[in-house]
Amino acid sequence: MKSSSLALINLRKRLGLTQRQLAKKAGIPQSTIARIEAGSNSSIDMLTHIGKAVDMELKLSYVKAKPKQTGKGNPY
């Protein structure tokens, strides 16, 4: 699951909202919230829009990438 999906789920639950309630506040279909929470691609604009609907600000950060697996050797 993508971090944006987890962040939206955590935000919604922290606010005590259902997907339907959050969608109504944001003026978008409930299915959009469900798709984002399920890991579907979501734009930064959409995530920002949802955040603004509940007086929250979207913050992004870069973190160091994990080393890529080369397929050589034992991964364990």
In a domain, 61, yes or no: no
Average pLDDT score over residue span 52-63: 92
What b/e sequence results for 26-40 when a residue is b if at least 16 CB atoms lie within 10 Å of its CB, and e otherwise?
Answer: bebeeebbeebbeee
pLDDT recorded at residue 30: 98
Per the structure, the complete domain to which residue 47 belongs is given by: 3-53
Domains identified in the chain, total number: 1
pLDDT confidence bin for 46, thresholds 50/70/90? very high
Rounded to two decimals, the pTM is 0.77
CB distance 33 to 19 below 8 Å: yes
What pLDDT, on a 0 to 100 scale, did the predictor assign at position 62?
86
pLDDT for the residue numbered 65: 87
Residue 60 lies in a domain: no
CATH of residue 37: 1.10.260.40
Tell me if 24 sits within 8 A of 53, measured CB to CB: no
Q: Report the phi/psi class of residue 64: left, alpha or beta, with left for phi > 0 and alpha for psi in -120 to 50.
A: beta
Q: Is the pLDDT of residue 72 over 80?
A: no
Structure tokens at 30: 């409930």
Other C-beta atoms closer than 10 Å to the C-beta of 53 total 15
